[in-house]
Amino acid sequence: MGGICDGRVVIVTGAGRGIGREHALEFARQGAQVVVNDLGAGREGAGRSGGPALEAVEEIRALGGQAVANNDDVADWDGAARLVKMALSAYGRLDVLVNNAGFVRDRMLVSMTEQEWDEVIRVHLKGHFLPLRHAAAHWRERSKAGEPVNARVINTSSGAGLLGSVGQGNYAAAKAGIVALTQVAAAELGRYGVTVNAIAPAARTRMTEEVFAATMAKPGSGFDAMDPANVAPLVAWLGSAESAHVTGRVFEVEGGVISLADGWRHGPRIDKGARWEPAEVGDAVAGLLAEAAEPEPVYGASSP
């Protein structure tokens, strides 16, 4: 097998099912050696099984590719360290980290428990930080030793993280944090030869099957816009040597559509040149709002 990632070593977290599995398969098709990480948990994080990761590895090997399975918890410091070490032990190097693992605990804010908040923040946000932290330390060490580094990190945010989503306050907060983490990591790691980007995919998975259940391929078209395999080509390209000029960006991808998400920017401003009086602020804010574009609506919010 060979393609745009020929010879590169890739870690994909949460790669036993859904979008992550399609990433792993596509990287293998493009010539990469893949570490398939998956804890084997259920949709809401319960349980643990080595089956999903092994099944993905077997599928890759059946295609003629190379892969190994890893069942470490990416939100655990030692587990994330072992994951990176496995790539180095199995294949002697690491070129790409795709952070994808996650689950949901959907609940309206007034009903959400502390545990539901903590668990989602842990697996998504901490589960992105820890593999990134250990991989980045490895790449920095290589760079400082004078070795050439041409590494990639692709993080997984969501439309919920970009715009918010009713009933998903914990998930949206975690995914928004991943965007900020991506931007900081891109700024910090560029000096070591590492690019860091994020995707916000829309596809039918265990986490979204209820939302997208009715969105199937149009009769006769042969194209299912919600197939998770549609996300993988962008991620494979971002993991390739060809994407060295792209970093700190967030891409939305759905079906055959790839778009660049345009995040927070400095907007209209008023400078009084002195401290504001509270009574003056209302008119100032009214002026700023009149100049600014209307914000995108939160997913699931009712129209005003």
Nearest to 243 by CA among 95, 92, 141: 95
Q: Catalytic one among 157, 175, 240, 243?
A: 175
Tokens of 158: 């969501």
> First CA to last CA across the chain, in angstroms?
53
Other CB atoms within a 10 A radius of the CB of residue 144 amount to 10
Contact yes or no for 97/153 (Cβ under 8 A)? yes
Phi, psi of 266 (to 5 degrees): -65, 130
Q: Catalytic one among 126, 157, 158, 240?
A: 158
Active site residue 85: no
> DSSP E strands: which ranges in 42-133?
66-70, 96-98
Active site residue 218: no
Q: Catalytic one among 126, 157, 165, 171?
A: 171
Tokens of 3: 């393609």
Tokens of 43: 């949709």
Active site residue 175: yes
Active site residue ranges: 158, 171, 175
